[in-house]
Amino acid sequence: MSTDLTLAREPEPGPAVSRRSLLEARDVHRSFGQTPALRGAQLAVGGGEILAVMGPSGSGKSTLLHCLAGIYTPDQGEIRFDGQRIDELSDARRTELRRTAFGFVFQFGQLIPELTVSDNIAMPLLLGDVRRKEAYRRADAWLDRLGLGGLGGRRTGELSGGQAQRVAIARALVPQPKVLFADEPTGSLDSLTSETVMDLLVSTARAEGTTVVVVTHDARVAACAERTVMVRDGKVSALTEYEVAG
Amino acid sequence: MHTAGVSVPLTLLGLLDREPSHGYDLKRDYDAFFGRDKPLPFGQVYSTLGRLARDGKVTVGASEPGDGPDRKRYSITEAGRTEVESWLAEPAPPEPHLQSVLFAKVVLALMLGRDAARYLDAQRGSHLRRMRELTETRRGGATMDVLLADYGLFHLEADLRWIDATEARLSALREMVRKP
Ligand SMILES: Nc1ncnc2c1ncn2[C@@H]1O[C@H](COP(=O)(O)OP(=O)(O)OP(=O)(O)O)[C@@H](O)[C@H]1O
Ligand SMILES: [Mg+2]
């Protein structure tokens, strides 16, 4: 398997693809009908890395995230997680991988508004056959970590945007995923709330050793990550961070 | 558009990198693209060209028939060209109010058929790095530090939005700066 990891044909010098990367896209193409969304996307994300993905609207960021997460399969190219081709797995095995190894945070609409904060956070554990009592114990342990202490019994439909996103983060992290995928997780929040939410996301992911791929338009959110790549016209390029004397 | 901070010598050199020109043409293009609120006096055009010639960055052609300093055509040298290229490629310090310098670079890069998006990315990179440092300072800092870091962060963020908007309009801008 390891010999497969050396890149024999790199279509263009993209961000470094290393042997230690946990997640890789290699020359990924994906179209929707006549619209090409990805055209040779190349990316490697290291284990435990916190990566921000930026780029103009319509450039292919969400499509890339969905391909990396095994939600979309590429038309061409490879997606590897932990050295294994996930684009070649059966639908059932990919769904299982997503459930056990990946967590997701989106801009809106992943919480069930009629259920309480604790119910929402415990949900993925209950679906994963964790016993009820244990699931709630683990869910409630997340409340304080994310500054949600005392809100466990509140319906999520009654939370502020920033509180709801913190619940979504807890819900995504409670099953201890290897990778957390976030698409505009702060897209509906004001700048300062975004930064608080992102800070919590980064610090908890770091404490858990979770790799994070976060798509964002917000530079303050990207500044909380460790590295930023740009997607343009369906391709990924590294953003070199020069240090310039002030 | 504030022009404070845009280097006149580098801008004139950049215009000469496009094609050899008379002082008059340089002043006209400078005023049109870089000096909208502050036209460049003729005197400064010629004194700047004189210094650039002394430093080996431009050469002065033979006087053409007629009077006055405008009879001479100036051309950029290899040394001048190198200077323009390194100025374009190097991101400016990520301080507030750098739009004028950045705008000048983008316009010149487009005039010279260079990859303006690449220069904008270099700037994005250095801005993000600075933002990362400020975000770090902010984390767990005292209120004063948080507020000062926020001031810097909001300005850098505004710059980055402007960089995004500029990138989105590069092709329109390219049309505009192209010589007829
Ligand atoms: N499900 C879909 N059906 C049809 N076209 C799609 C679909 N998803 C994406 N596209 C198209 O693919 C291209 C890339 O879309 P994508 O959503 O990946 O962009 P993005 O970078 O996430 O943009 P934004 O910043 O606006 O969210 C766009 O042209 C988009 O219209
Ligand atoms: Mg998107």
pLDDT (tens digit per residue) in A4-55: 333 333 334 444 444 479 999 999 999 999 999 999 999 999 999 999 999 9
Banded model confidence at residue B32, pLDDT cuts 50, 70, 90: confident
Q: Is B153's Cβ below 8 Å from some Cβ in A?
A: yes
Q: Which residue, chain included where needed, has tokens 């010999």?
A: A3
How many distinct helices (H) and strands (E) make up chain B?
8, 3
Question: How far, in Å, CA of B173 to CA of B163, rounded?
Answer: 13
Banded model confidence at residue B67, pLDDT cuts 50, 70, 90: low
Q: What average pLDDT does range A65-75 have in this prediction? A: 96
- Going from the C-alpha of A220 to that of each of A228, B47, B126, B160, the distances in angstroms are 12, 44, 14, 10
pLDDT at site A132: 95
Domain B8-89 has CATH 1.10.10.10: yes
Chain centroid offset of residue B121 CA? 15
How many percent of chain B have pLDDT more than 70? 90
Question: How far, in Å, CA of A43 to CA of A157, rounded?
Answer: 37
Closest chain A C-alpha to B8 CA, distance in angstroms: 20
Say if residue B96's pLDDT is above 80.
Answer: no
- Cα of first residue to Cα of last residue in chain B, in angstroms, is 24
The model carries a pTM of 0.80
The residue ranges of every structural domain in chain B are 8-89, 97-178
Contact in structure between A72 and A37 (CB atoms under 8 Å) = no
Nearest to A239 among B94, B128, B157 (CB): B128
Tell me how far the alpha carbon of residue A182 lies from the centroid of ligand 2, in angstroms: 10
| Beta strands in chain B, from DSSP E residues, in sequence order | 21-22, 58-60, 73-76
CB contact under 8 A, A241 and B126: yes
Residue of B167, B77, B132 whose CA lies nearest to A225: B132
Which residues have CB under 6 Å of ligand 1?
Answer: A 32, 35, 37, 55, 57-63
Q: Is B140's Cβ below 8 Å from some Cβ in A?
A: no
Q: What average pLDDT does range A113-128 have in this prediction? A: 93
Question: How far, in Å, CA of A151 to CA of A139, rounded?
Answer: 12
Question: How far, in Å, CA of A234 to CA of A192, rounded?
Answer: 30
pLDDT at site A6: 33
Say if residue B4's pLDDT is above 80.
Answer: no
pLDDT tens string B137-175 = 988 888 878 888 998 999 899 889 999 999 999 989 999
Helix (H) or strand (E) holding A227: strand A227-232
Question: How far, in Å, CA of B141 to CA of B153, rounded?
Answer: 15
pLDDT at site A189: 87
